[in-house]
Amino acid sequence: MVVFSSVISYLLAPKVVEYDWLMIALLFVGGYCVTGSANAMNQVVEKDTDAMMKRTASRPVASGRMSVKEGWIFSIVVGVVGVFLLTYFFNPLSGMLAAFSLFLYAFVYTPLKKVSAIAVLMGAVPGALPCLIGWAAGNDAVFGYGEVKNWGGWVLFFLQFLWQFPHFWAIAWIAHKDYSGAGFRLLPAEKGPTKFTAIQTVMYAVLLIPVCVLPYVIELTEFGTTKGKVCLVLVMLANLFLVGQCVRLYREMNAKAARRVMFSSYIYLPIVLLAFLASKT
């Protein structure tokens, strides 16, 4: 999902005016390597807690099929390959952002998971950085330099940043027993799945609505054409659908409703990003 969002962000960059499938493939592979490295490092660092949880006990390091040394070698090699691909074939900025994202995920977010629910906030940063990485790869910059639409990378970053809260809290709701048994504190309420957690998912889902309008405001995507208007309607329907599922979670307060939020979030992001791409200015 994060590699997908990085590729779409790359294609949305103003300097990318045609589809170069080789460059798209290189970005995909580079992003996939960095993401794989981050997840591999996470599994090495959390091997003991992974072994305690049903959903993660079969992971290679946790189950003993792979040693800690092998896990570190794999994750470092794959991470270096990913950062190299982004730096060499695109630009140093995208490579540095990828390395920074990898560091945040493996060495800031991962240890914080046992300390406080603020880990989710910290984890949302590397989770959203793929949008900025893709934008930097396509635009050679992440700041405006005079043109309003050149700030689109930050709009996409904040979209994916906010999206992660209802998405991740739905997962944490479903896996709360496993998580709490392993000592992870990932829900905003210390008592576990509560009305407070549910209302938080609603709040972040609602905040996505104005952020989804910003691409049209900064003229990254077009509104004046029929295609642009249809895409905006699709984006708003996706937002209302996600908000509706979060409200349903608040009303029903059960794992089934949380699962609906989780799967709705999986559907939401591709629809919104592809609608932006289809209506790119």
Q: Summarize pLDDT for 78-120 with one digit per residue, the tens.
A: 999 999 999 999 999 999 999 999 999 989 888 887 777 788 8
Are 53 and 171 in a shared domain?
A: no
Question: Distance between CA 174 and CA 232 in Å, rounded?
Answer: 32
Which pLDDT score, from 0 to 100, does residue 178 have? 78
- Domain's final residue, options 110, 142, 174: 142
Q: In this structure, what is the dihedral angle of CA atoms 82, 86, 92, 95, given to the nearest 10 degrees? A: -40
Are 135 and 44 in a shared domain?
A: yes
Are 196 and 115 in a shared domain?
A: no
Are 26 and 137 in a shared domain?
A: yes
* 171: confidence class by pLDDT, cuts 50, 70, 90: confident
Residue 117's domain is classified under what CATH number?
A: 1.10.357.140
Are 79 and 98 in a shared domain?
A: yes
Are 178 and 128 in a shared domain?
A: no
Question: Distance between CA 112 and CA 16 in Å, rounded?
Answer: 38
Are 26 and 102 in a shared domain?
A: yes
- Domain's final residue, options 77, 108, 142: 142
pLDDT tens across 55-80, in order? 888 999 999 999 999 999 999 999 99
Contact 269, 163 (CB under 8 A): yes
Round the average pLDDT of the chain to a whole number and report it: 91
What's the pTM value of the predicted model, to 2 decimals? 0.92
Are 138 and 155 in a shared domain?
A: no
Question: Distance between CA 65 and CA 55 in Å, rounded?
Answer: 16
122-132 mean pLDDT = 93
Contact 119, 186 (CB under 8 A): yes
Our count of domains for the chain comes to 2
The domain containing residue 94 runs over which residues?
Answer: 1-142
Are 159 and 237 in a shared domain?
A: yes
Are 136 and 240 in a shared domain?
A: no
pLDDT: which is higher, 200 or 182: 200
26-44 mean pLDDT = 95
Are 164 and 132 in a shared domain?
A: no
Are 114 and 52 in a shared domain?
A: yes
